[in-house]
Amino acid sequence: MLVALLPGDGIGPEVIVEAVRVLDALAIDGLIFEEAPVGGAAYKEQGHPLPDTTLALARRADAILFGAVGDPDCDALERHLRPEQAILGLRKELGLFANLRPANLFPELANASALRPEIARNIDVMIVRELTGDVYFGEKGMRTTEAGLRQGYDIMAYDEGEIARIARAGFETARARRGKLCSVDKANVLETSQLWRDVVIEVSADYPDIELSHLYVDNAAMQLVRDPGQFDTIVTGNLFGDILSDLASMCAGSIGMLPSASLDKDGKGLYEPIHGSAPDIAGQGRANPLATILSSAMMLRYSLGRNEAADRIERAVGKALAGGLRTADIGGGATTRKAGDAVIAML
């Protein structure tokens, strides 16, 4: 089982190292790693954020463990050379259309949530985010209006096939959970969203056992803060899912806690924390590695068929938190390394 390690930029390498230490401590039979540069690191080394050799490794591997990309030094580059194009390119090239972002609260972190503990305590939601379409992949550019003003544009578009595919992923996910699916869109304003809603309703005919509801994205953001416990599974587009999952992370304690799986139609996956490269804390040993460690557990479960090892990691994270582990983002002073140590000690 080959795992491609793509650490990337900023805190990416810092959190990936800890996840690899945890995987090494489990001594999983046949698990091997191969590392390649990605993002700003790859641009600085090889002149491109997603070199062909990195993409080839990602294709060859059984699963990909990804840190984060993004480097302020690269913000002025032409868009196709910016670090973020690497993760967008991997998602598109590998057909990773289904992004699963679970947000649930470890009970020990009730006080770290931005919400009151009695409200935070109930959060246990899976956000199923479409990942290879929407405004992120539509035609974009700069033009000049008739009045001579600069105008930026990004086309938001989904075809019915893309919507039906992610809707099915949402229904299947809900079926394996508590049987409730909330589809989030902006159908009151956007044609893209009206089609989204129509197609989700069409697909729902195949899932009569699932309780389907719909919310506009602005209301969904408000409801996630008001009463996150009302949600089981949310299915939504790329842009809305990106925003709602960062929001949900603070209900669950920190953006440093939320893992993700990005899956193709056959279950091959890329696993990464939902956060970015956090340049503001990079190099200081302050990053919370738990989101990445939990992403490695998702990798073991979804792509490598090692459910028991995945359970061990998740239990060890819970025990480490119960034992008092707290990085700065969740109200403590533990370093990234100490957090890795604490999980390993509880495996």
Ligand X SMILES: NC(=O)C1=CN([C@@H]2O[C@H](COP(=O)(O)OP(=O)(O)OC[C@H]3O[C@@H](n4cnc5c(N)ncnc54)[C@H](O)[C@@H]3O)[C@@H](O)[C@H]2O)C=CC1
Ligand Y SMILES: CC(C)CC(=O)C(=O)O
The residues carrying an active-site annotation are: 136, 186, 218, 242, 246
Q: Name residues contacting ligand Y, limited to 272-311 (CB under 6 A).
A: 274, 276
Tell me the C-alpha distance between 264 and 60, whole Å: 14
Number of residues forming the site for Mg ion (CB under 5 A): 1
18 binds ligand X (CB under 6 A): no
- The C-alpha R_g of the chain, in whole angstroms, comes to 20
242 binds ligand Y (CB under 6 A): yes
Nearest to 186, CA basis, from 236, 144, 148, 140: 236
Q: Which residue is nearest to Mg ion (CB)?
A: 242
The item of ligand Y, Mg ion, ligand X, none sharing an interface with residue 105, based on CB under 5 to 8 Å by kind, is: none
Tell me the C-alpha distance between 81 and 46, whole Å: 11
DSSP characters over 141-195: EEEE-TTS-EEEEE-----HHHHHHHHHHHHHHHHHTTSEEEEEE-TTT-HHHHH
Residue 308 is encoded by which pair of tokens? 């028991």
Nearest approach in angstroms of CB 84 to ligand Y is 4
Rank residues 132 and 336 by Cβ distance to ligand Y and give the closer one.
132
For the annotated binding site for NAD(+), the residues are 276-288
Strand, helix or coil for residue 324: coil
Whose structure tokens read 């925003």? 243
Rank residues 112 and 281 by Cβ distance to ligand X and give the closer one.
281
Contact region for ligand Y (CB under 6 A) — 4-12, 37-45, 82-90, 187-195?
Answer: 82-90
Number of residues forming the site for ligand Y (CB under 6 A): 6
Strand, helix or coil for residue 262: strand
Residue 273 is encoded by which pair of tokens? 């924390």
Tell me the C-alpha distance between 232 and 173, whole Å: 10
Q: Name residues contacting ligand X, limited to 254-293 (CB under 6 A).
A: 255-256, 272, 275-281, 287-288, 291
Tell me the C-alpha distance between 58 and 35, whole Å: 10
Nearest approach in angstroms of CB 132 to ligand Y is 11
103 contacts: CB under 8 Å, gap ≥ 6: 123, 124, 125, 126, 127, 228, 245, 248, 249, 251, 252, 258
Cα torsion 222, 225, 228, 234: sign: positive
242 binds Mg ion (CB under 5 A): yes
Contact region for Mg ion (CB under 5 A) — 10-18, 85-93, 205-213, 238-246?
Answer: 238-246
The item of ligand Y, ligand X, Mg ion, none sharing an interface with residue 50, based on CB under 5 to 8 Å by kind, is: none
49 binds ligand X (CB under 6 A): no
Residue 309 is encoded by which pair of tokens? 């090892």
Tell me the C-alpha distance between 325 and 300, whole Å: 23
Q: Name residues contacting ligand X, limited to 64-103 (CB under 6 A).
A: 68-70, 84, 87
Rank residues 73 and 218 by Cβ distance to ligand X and give the closer one.
73
Q: Amino acid identity of 82? A: R
Nearest approach in angstroms of CB 2 to ligand Y is 24
Rank residues 28 and 221 by Cβ distance to Mg ion and give the closer one.
221
134 binds ligand Y (CB under 6 A): no
The site string for Mg ion over 195-224 (x = CB under 5 A, - otherwise) reads ------------------------------
251 binds ligand X (CB under 6 A): no
Q: Name residues contacting ligand X, limited to 314-343 (CB under 6 A).
A: 329
The item of Mg ion, ligand Y, ligand X, none sharing an interface with residue 88, based on CB under 5 to 8 Å by kind, is: ligand Y
What residues line the site for Mg ion (CB under 5 A)? 242
Interacting residues with ligand Y (CB under 6 A)? 84, 87-88, 242, 274, 276
